[in-house]
């Protein structure tokens, strides 16, 4: 028999236990195992080794599970802090500020024109200019606070 055929069969035997194989690969492997005694013996040995491994019990020190869960939670929190979403939020904020600064003269003139056309007092339309930039910033800050509060409750 071809050595590559046996190596391929052994890889499929291992893959079948770990990842799973396709139906076609299962049929091909079953046909090969029916013909090849050495690969069939390998499959039996693999099954025996896995059965023996499943039967092994291990005692763990007290508190190990709790410490491990705590470390996993801390690591998950650390990964969330570095998540792409946070970077995206900062990038959007930077672009927003840049556009806000670049368009400030036009926004000022637009509010001034609307104020004159409608007869609004100057402090009213100036307040409109301030709110034009403040409201989105307040909404973003509220979203960040809401997200952090949710994480804090999740950790508790």
Cβ neighbours, 10 Å, residue 129: 16
Confidence (pLDDT) at 106: 92
Query: What pLDDT sits at residue 110?
Result: 92
H helix or E strand, kind and range, residue 6 = helix 3-18
* Contact assessment for residue 18 and residue 27, using Cβ atoms and an 8 Å cutoff: no
Number of other residues whose CB lies within 10 A of the CB of residue 112? 16
Residue of 16, 10, 50, 15 lying closest to 32 (CA atoms): 10
Tokens of residue 64, six digits: 């190990």
Find, among 88, 68, 99, the residue nearest to 144 by Cα. 88
Exposure of 48 in the CB half-sphere (CA atoms within 13 A): 6
pLDDT in tens, the chain (156 residues): 467 888 888 899 988 888 888 999 999 999 999 999 999 999 999 889 888 888 888 787 888 888 888 999 888 888 777 766 667 777 877 888 888 888 889 989 999 999 999 999 999 989 988 888 788 878 877 877 887 777 666 666
Alpha-carbon dihedral sign for residues 61, 66, 70, 72: positive
What phi, psi does 139 have (nearest 5°)?
-65, -45
Q: What is the pLDDT, as a whole number, of residue 104?
A: 86
pTM above the 0.95 mark?
no
Residue 77 to residues 65, 68, 88, 140: CA-CA distances in angstroms?
A: 18, 14, 18, 21
What's the chain's length in residues? 156
């Amino acid at each position: 028999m071809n050595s590559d055929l046996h190596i391929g069969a052994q890889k499929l035997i291992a893959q079948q236990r770990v990842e799973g194989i396709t139906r076609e690969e299962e049929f091909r492997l079953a046909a090969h195992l029916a013909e090849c005694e050495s690969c069939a013996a390998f499959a039996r040995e693999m099954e025996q080794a896995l059965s023996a491994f499943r039967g092994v019990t291990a005692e763990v020190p007290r508190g190990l599970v709790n410490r491990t869960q705590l470390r996993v939670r801390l690591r998950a929190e650390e990964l969330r802090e570095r998540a792409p979403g946070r970077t995206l939020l900062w990038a959007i904020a930077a672009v927003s500020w840049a556009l806000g600064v670049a368009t400030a003269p036009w926004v000022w003139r637009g509010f001034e024109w609307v104020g004159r056309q409608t007869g609004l007092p100057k402090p009213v339309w100036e307040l409109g200019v301030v709110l034009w930039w403040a409201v989105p910033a307040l909404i973003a800050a509220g979203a960040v606070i809401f997200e952090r509060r949710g994480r804090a409750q999740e950790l508790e």
